[in-house]
Chains A and B, each alone.
Chain A
Amino acid sequence: MQDVTMTVNGREVSARIDERTLLLEFIRDIAGLTGTHNGCLEARCGCCSVEVDGSIVKSCNVLALQANGKSVTTIEGLSPQRLRPAEHITSQSLAGMYEPLDVLGADAGDLHPVQNAFHKCHALQCGFCTPGMVMVLKNYLEENPDPTRDDIRTAIAGNLCRCTGYQHIIDAGMQAAKQLRDDSMQLHDA
């Protein structure tokens, strides 16, 4: 057993853990943030992607000990809002809803540009791969805000979507890039 402390989405989390604890397990079971998904556990599907000190990693293939003392950003850290629990929602009722975000008590304006683009472009079907896709795209677009569709395909090469909804994910990536560019232009103008 060993003591570990890391900052998860700005909150310091300390625990005494088994050395074998993966960063993914630390985030889900100890920090209690279940947005980061456990897909394959062998660094293939990318559903568990999070940022450690600003660099994207697959948290299922990193020991929590390797992230000791570092700052971790998960999907929950992208937008400050808290979503209302929405247990009454079924896929059928969601499909018929004009503004599903209303039901969640969420405001599109508060979403991270990548999250917003996923919402607008319907870039998720079952949504299981979405946290990883969003984190990898966020990390990539911060480095290259003016990508081609092929660049985005390459950037998410390590993320698998079993609904095979890649076209809409790439649409969302392109739209998020545009919004990020526009946002930074506005910052410069202001």
Chain B
Amino acid sequence: MIKDANTIIERRACISGIGQSEIGRRLFRDPLELTLDGCLAAIDHAGLTTADIDGLSTYPGPGGMPAGFSGAGAYEVIDALRLNCGWYGSGLETSGQLGSLVNACLAVASGLANHVLCFRSVWEGSAQGDKGRSAVMPGGAAGGGFKASGFMEWNIVYSAPSAAVWIALFAQRHFKQYGITREQMAWIALNARKNAALNPKAIYREPLSFDDYMNARMISTPFCLYDCDVPCDGATAVIVSRIDRAKDLRNPPLRVEAVGTRIDGRPSWDQFDDLTQMPNRAAGRQLWERTDLKPSDVQTAQLYDGFSWLTMSWLEALQLCELGGSGDFIDGGANIALDGKLPLNTHGGQLSGGRLHGYGFLHEAATQMWGLAGDRQIASAPEVGIVAAGGGNTCGCLLLVRE
């Protein structure tokens, strides 16, 4: 197959601007206002105005989700900014948080829009209230007669209501199969914290030592407290432009070289056929089938760390290390450090930077590729970056190339 923009049509799309609202552990600000702050920052950064924006895409859209999971839906933002859209969409059932970005790429590639505003907005920090996290208890303190159905029927009944537990089950099997240890996994969290110290917008910036990590309280083995990301408030926005409309804009286009959206096997947290991998294995394979670039060409990786093991899973799924080799690859932290061969989660990830839920990684890849990362800038601004988000049955990835 000739891999050009005629066959790999996401190559007709690029990222032309990025923006972010204020980010904090608990801001107690209006989520729509935060969302609009992020969106307007991205539009301005691209050198565009709201009149130029003719598409909108977001994950997950409004309604029916845990408190704080969605700061705004598509219609709210379209209305608040008085946008006219040739195409728009939102939704939860897609290739992870980045599925919304892939949809935008396809929309500009097909000519339905020229400049699509994409955003992800969360206020999970404030949604916990000022007393901290409350118990996971649908129906109130005593259960209130609540009965589990649908997806929850098969986990919450067994007192396993959190993705921490579901993903721990994968991590444990993966560790067992390949002889990987907590001492190795620690480097995901330690690397994130070290980078967060250089990111003024990160949530946790104070030093974290190996001993701090090893002595932390356990959540669900092999995960300790520092393997779990931190809920926060904030909105991240990205402008996806048709590449022929981006040439004269403010920033060098970050062309979308290839995306990975594929899912093989049961789209399930516990019925997936291989507990040492996740559905991201197919998305990773698909991405590399759509480009002549190789994993060795990647100069920075921004890989989802809702739980630290997910980053290890993505390293393997994207073939940035061998299958089962992520423990050795990250051990000691040298390979993944800011000055290492594959700078990873250079903003602190979600573990230390805050759970911006996928889009934070996209924002950071673009920030590094444009040389805008300040104290945490990779010495030579990367020309090729890879971004991945999601875990369990929700996963997507993309490869970016600076023109």
The finding on whether chains A and B are genuine partners in a shared complex, rather than unrelated, reads no
B-binding residues in A (CB < 8 A)? none
